[in-house]
Structure 1
Amino acid sequence: MAPPTPESSLNGQIAQDSTPIFQRIKDYLVGEIAAGRWKEGDLVPSEQALGRQFGASRMTVNRAVRELTAQQVLTRRQGAGTYVAPQKYQATLVEIRNIADEARARGHAHASRPHLLERAVADEALAPRFGLVPGAPLFHSLIVHEEDGRPIQVEDRWVNPACAPGYLEQDFTRITPNEHLMAVAPLQGASYSIEALPAPRDIAAMLDISPGTCCLVLNRSTTSNGMVASVVTMWHPGHLYKFTGRVA
């Protein structure tokens, strides 16, 4: 390859110089994280050190760091410095997803902790969602899903026994409810909604967050063989999670 001409080198220099310094600092910090040189929880260089590296004023460096903090790329700990923020776990919204597969796809370990497995009955609010009469039998499970030891979802699920008669006999430390239901009650359709809600005290305790912390809450019902098979509410810490989707 021919060496760059003086003109091309000058054009490159002009292009670099036209980028504001604060943006170059942001690009550098994001690039180091994307390349894996800095990982979640790592301390990033101080504003003073970045100022020396880029020949920038403290105000300019502070702007770059503040903007990345607002974007949840970095997090500040008063008196301790600035760190790489916890990653946002990405979940697919359009498809019926298996949280264990998503964790493994990220190279992480999935674990689940059942808090409740019980026989219950449909109350006046649940019965219409299943097309059942109040008092009809249902199965109920409450499970906390973890990724690399961190709680990332509370799954509060109600199941129609007619669709999954062996639901309560499953070992949900080894198989997820989604995996079992997809095997015994083939998916016919689904409807869902998503909203941001403050975590109640019991959900907060299971997710290891403060009560009132904003959560992304996915409500979903699935049908199989002409019946509503499952109604589930899934709570995710808002600062750790995002949902994505694509329509072809």
Structure 2
Amino acid sequence: MAKFAHIKEFIYRKIESGDWPEYHPVSSENVLAEQFNVSRMTARRALQELADEGLVTRTRGSGTFVAPLKSQSALLTIRNIRDEIELRGHTHRAVVQLLEQVVAPAHLATALQVPADTQLLRSVITHFENDQAVQVEDRFVNPLLVPNYLDQDFTVMTPHEYLCEVTPLTEASHLIEAVSPTREQIKWLGLAESEPCLQIQRRTSCRDGVVSQATLTHPGSRFRLGGHMTFKATRRRND
């Protein structure tokens, strides 16, 4: 593991364990450089990547602090929502709103690569963090790949956990947009009124085909989406 990654992992653990709550000061570049026996530039890279991911905030002259604690999720990884919540030292709870079979509309049949008259398996679940609703998960599942999906107790095991257990995922795609919630979503999220929500359309696949199409809706005031990408620099050739 690269030296800057060790620093990031140390800070991740401090935040996720609750040792460093929101607004808690984060060790300075100089302190981290001395603690991990690295250059100040390496420590700065670690802190800047954490800032890019939305986990810390940096202010010139004031220092670095743990970001306000909203639901934080990585853009480029798929993590189980229960794990995310429990890593922050909080309690996860799930309420199942719907479990049903529905005839696949054309767009979902195309997304799941099944015939148009296929009876898809649908679950709608509200996920809570410390008794505050943070996500409505509306998921359609391919019954040809996961025939026993509706028989599961999703208050004990999340759909993500179950699907990873029975059909190990090999690929995922995302579409992210800001939306106005539907009346049902307002009810399931316990919103006093309509507020902008962040919605993620996620399609997951295994070696045998497309497993599920999920719509994950989060209240804008309770969600933070972060990510970090590293690009390899290329030199321009002088012809």
Partner residue, 2:217: 235
Distance 2:148 2:137 in 1: 19
Q: Say whether residues 1:34 and 2:23 are aligned partners.
A: yes
Q: Say whether residues 1:135 and 2:102 are aligned partners.
A: no
Partner residue, 1:171: 153
Detail structure 1 runs of 4+ shifted over 4 Å in the superposition. Answer: none
Deviation of 1:158 (Å): 0.2
User: What whole-Å deviation, never above 9, does each CA across 1:164-213 have from its counterpart, x for those lacking one?
Assistant: 12111111000000000001111111111110011111101111114431
Asked whether the 8 Å contact 1:163–1:224 carries over to 2, the reply is no
Which runs of structure 2 are paired with 1:1-248 in the superposition (5 Å)?
34-35=23-24, 87-248=69-230
Partner residue, 1:41: none
CA RMSD after TM alignment: 2.2
Distance 1:228 1:211 in 2: 35
- Over the matched positions of the two proteins, sequence identity in percent amounts to 39
Deviation of 1:143 (Å): 0.3
SS of residue paired to 2:106: coil
Listed as ranges, the gaps of 5+ residues in structure 2 are 1-20, 26-56, 58-67, 231-239
Asked whether the 8 Å contact 2:22–2:69 carries over to 1, the reply is no
> Normalization by structure 2: what TM-score?
0.67
> Normalization by structure 1: what TM-score?
0.65
Listed as ranges, the gaps of 5+ residues in structure 1 are 1-31, 37-72, 74-85
Deviation of 1:33 (Å): 5.9
Aligned pair count reads 171
Which structure has the larger Rg over C-alpha atoms?
1
